Structure 1
């Protein structure tokens, strides 16, 4: 089983409204989530997000 751990320390939770330029930006008409937003979300969705701050770590249990 894989365990996901953040590469950087956790940032305190903020209100749920997304802020352009902080939480996301547009590229070629698509919304790209930033590492800042993904870190705040608190987990990896395993969709291969471009700025994902999480990495798969093999669980030795």
Structure 2
């Protein structure tokens, strides 16, 4: 199956295993890369993958 290029808030919350409120908070606080199309908040899948890799903290 081909990977989606763009994720919605709902899809991202499911993908990350977090609540919708958590995703909206990250967007509001500019903690996660996103873009808007009119009122919709969207996320480039590849950009999110990069953000995850760069956010890993090694102990």
After TM superposition, the score normalised by the length of structure 1 is 0.27
Query: When you count strand as a share of all residues, which structure comes out higher?
Result: 1
**Larger relative contact order (C-alpha < 8 A, sep ≥ 6)?**
1
Whichever of the two has the greater Rg, that structure is 1
After TM superposition, the score normalised by the length of structure 2 is 0.27
